[in-house]
A and B are shown apart, each in its own frame.
Chain A
Amino acid sequence: MTTLAEKFGRDDWTRFTLRQRMTRYAVIFGCALAIAWALTSIEVIWAWVWGAPEQIGDLFGRMYPPDPTNLETILKVLWDTVNIATFATTFAVLLSLPVAYIAAQNTTPNRATLWLGRLILVTSRSVNTIIWALLFVAIFGPGVVAGILAIMFRSIGFVGKLLGEAIEEIDKRPVEALEATGASRFKVIAYAIVPQVMPTFWAVSILRWDINLRESTVLGLVGAGGIGIILQGAIDTFNWPEVATILIAIIVLVIIGEVISAFLRRRIL
């Protein structure tokens, strides 16, 4: 039997070899360096940083107790927020169907449409909802339309990408079977492809609706409708107790949304 010393050149046990340890130290050193660079060059007023806990405490202190006098308006706008999310999700899901179809390698008619599909998905996904909202508020003016369009444009990429991947992963035997019987392209899609991607379709739609509910709460901050508008108004007038009520309303909305989407997912899938 060989001893540890003969086998490894040392007789004490360590978890990593010298080389592994050196790599680990180098990575840690690199991270520390990045953090030090960020800390020393970021333009912050350090006096504000030291005063921050006090300021934040003060802010929350002013929010207590929450003021429910405007609850009726808040609930009404909250309902608008839900509608923005629901409408935008519905339109986005419908529009993402053809995009997913041309962005999936196995169903796209040709190379050009494949790249067109991918371009639409990447553009839609990489531009954040808020940036879309800035654009649509500039075009259509403040209001619900800008909000719906912003969420829609962001969601098409998300739903389209996941749906496209689902189409790429389908079992292609049903497709071949239908094609062999001479079925039309439309019938192949309806009877061989759609049934296979249906579970993903519902799962993705529900997931996106849940995400959109959260996103639609902030659209108002750039003027695109929903609860964000009155939140911005309350903050601008330093009406902190009302801000607290709105924040609580948002949490409740998000939690209800999560419960509903969990319920639907269980029922459908």
Chain B
Amino acid sequence: MSAPRDTWKKPPFIANPVLRWAVILGALAYFGWVGTTMPIDWNRVAEGIGRAGRIFGGAFPPSFERSGLLIDGFLESLKIAILATAGGVLLSIPIAFMSARNVAPKPIFYLGRAIIIVARSFHPVIVAILFVKAVGFGPFAGVLTLIVYSIGFVAKMLAERIEEIDFGQVEAMRAAGAPYFSTLTYAIFPQIMPRQIGLTIYQLDSNLRASAVVGIVGAGGIGATLANAFGRYDYDFALAITMVIVGVILVSEAVSGLIRKRIQ
């Protein structure tokens, strides 16, 4: 046994010293190398300080003069969110069944998982530009985008819930000779319904949030109003819109949290 020490040192985070130093040196090399080779125009960045002053000077006080536009934009966002949630949740249910390992046959399971992975991999903004190109500017592109976005989340969570169900009820239905769809409605739906409702409310909140963003690339709603205000250097109106967005998001988050808590 080695000589007892009379000082104590914190055990290192990574016990293996070779690995520890490799990780530290690797991280330093990465940050040093990338930090110096990144395409940054420092002169332009330095100019930005003065610009920031001008922008914030122009943004205060926020202007609520055109609150008509603001309210219209918001109502449109709300409509987009409602329709996208309804459409997305309806489509998510069959896709969730397809991608639950315990109820779907293997090839269909892989198809369902593939749909979910594709829907989840793309940020809603990318999906939005594609839809804007395909179906034109406006809220319809927004609805389609958020339907894809909702499928990615709701179908995934719901499929996980379906995989956790108590299979006894399904077996009982099957033993009684029930056809496939009766098994779904009487043995599986009642078990996943609470999760389904919770997810729907969460997704409505989430879609409202995302609809503010997809508008920036032309898919309607408050985001379009914000992008226009920014493009016209109306920083005071842009600040007003941002403040309202933040306010609405906080309220909708609180409301959706409250409802979900009461349901569960």
Which residues does A use to contact B, with CB under 8 Å? 31, 34-35, 37-39, 41-45, 48-49, 51-52, 55-56, 58-59, 80, 83, 86-87, 90, 122-123, 126-128, 130-131, 134-135, 138-141, 143-145, 191, 195, 198, 214-215, 217-218, 221-222, 228, 231-232, 235, 247, 250-251, 254-255
Contacts and interface: CB of A to CB of B under 8 A. Distances in A.
B213 A255 contact: no
Contacts of A228: 126
Nearest to A136: B48
Nearest to B41: A143
Nearest to A83: B34
A174 to B, nearest CB: 13
Interface of B: 10, 13, 30-31, 34-35, 38-41, 44-45, 47-48, 51-52, 55, 75-76, 78-80, 82-83, 86, 117-118, 121-123, 125-126, 129-131, 133-136, 138-140, 143-144, 209, 212-213, 216-217, 226-227, 230, 242, 245-246, 249-250
A231 B246 contact: no
B141 to A, nearest CB: 9
Given A143-B39, A247-B122, A255-B117, A52 B144 contact: yes
B134 A35 contact: no
Contacts of A52: 134-135, 140, 144
A34 B125 CA distance: 26
Interface of B, helix, strand, loop or mixed by DSSP: helix
A82 to B, nearest CB: 9
Nearest to A135: B55
Nearest to B212: A128
Contacts of B226: 131, 134
Contact of A222 (B44, B78, B131, B216): B216
Nearest to B38: A144
Contact of A44 (B31, B123, B139): B139
B82 A48 contact: no
Nearest to B250: A126
A126 B41 contact: no
Contacts of A80: 38-39
Contact of B82 (A34, A140, A144, A195): A34
A134 B48 contact: no
Contacts of A39: 83
A90 B230 CA distance: 29
